[in-house]
Structure 1
Amino acid sequence: MDRKLEQTIIARKVRAGTIYKLIMTGLAVSTLPLGVLAGVAGAMGADSVRINGRAIHGAEALLWGPLITVVSMTLLGLVLATAVCVGLWAVSLFRPIAVRVVVDAPPTGAEGPDLFGPDSPA
């Protein structure tokens, strides 16, 4: 039986790279399958991939569907992550940021390391 422990970390600062990584990963996992699906649909004749108002079909749609998705996802991710970084920076001026995390609990009877204690390497 897996036990989980919930801990709260109080952070004065969250690195911008962490924010960008989280947002870009979330966008990639959620939008890339849609881009591939649009490319496959376009390859089968649907008007799901358009460039300058012109529908792309066939093998070209298999290339352009995911490519358009990656470019638009990257641009959106950069704008969103920058906005989140600025917002978190503004909030951190007034109070520390509290982040709740769920970690695996050590097995019953075993003493595991305190991941977020005063001697933690993180």
Structure 2
Amino acid sequence: MFSTVTARRLSVGTVYKLWFVGLGATLLPLGLLLGICALSGYNTVTWNGQPLHGVGALFAGPAIGLGMALLFTALLGSCAAFGLWLCSWFRPLSLKIKNLN
């Protein structure tokens, strides 16, 4: 089941990894879906204010999703790391993790 782990601090790399996995797992499939829609003629993928269609949109959609995931990871991960660092000054962090068994 679940175990509780108490930690004084999380490493910054762990915070960034959690943000990137969470955002990448949602924004990449969304970019692929929007690329498929643009492949069939919808104006769902734009670059430089111009809508992309065809195979170019099929590749640009996930690439834009990956870029957005990287950008949001950098911004939100930095904010989260700073907030967790501030929180570590007052009390330890308690995490519930699921065991592999």
Q: Check whether TM > 0.5.
A: yes
Give the equivalent residue in structure 1 for 2:56.
60
TM-score (norm 1): 0.78
The 3-state SS of whatever aligns with 2:42 is coil
Larger Rg belongs to: 1
Matched residue SS, 2:67? helix
Corresponding pairs, count: 101
The reply to whether residue 70 of structure 1 matches residue 84 of structure 2 is no
Structure 1: 5+ residue stretches without partners: 106-122
Give the TM-score, by structure 2 length.
0.93
Identity over the aligned pairs, expressed in percent? 36
Give the alignment's Cα RMSD to 1 decimal: 1.2
Q: Is the 8 A contact 2:39 2:53 kept in 1?
A: yes
State the shift of 1:70 in Å: 0.9
Gaps of 5+ in 2: none
Relative to structure 1, the CA distance from residue 64 to residue 93 in structure 2 (aligned partners, 3 Å threshold; closer, same or farther) is: same
Give the 4+ runs in structure 1 shifted more than 4 A: none
Q: 2:95 aligns with which of 93, 99, 104?
A: 99
Q: Show the 5 A alignment for 1:30-69.
A: 30-69=26-65
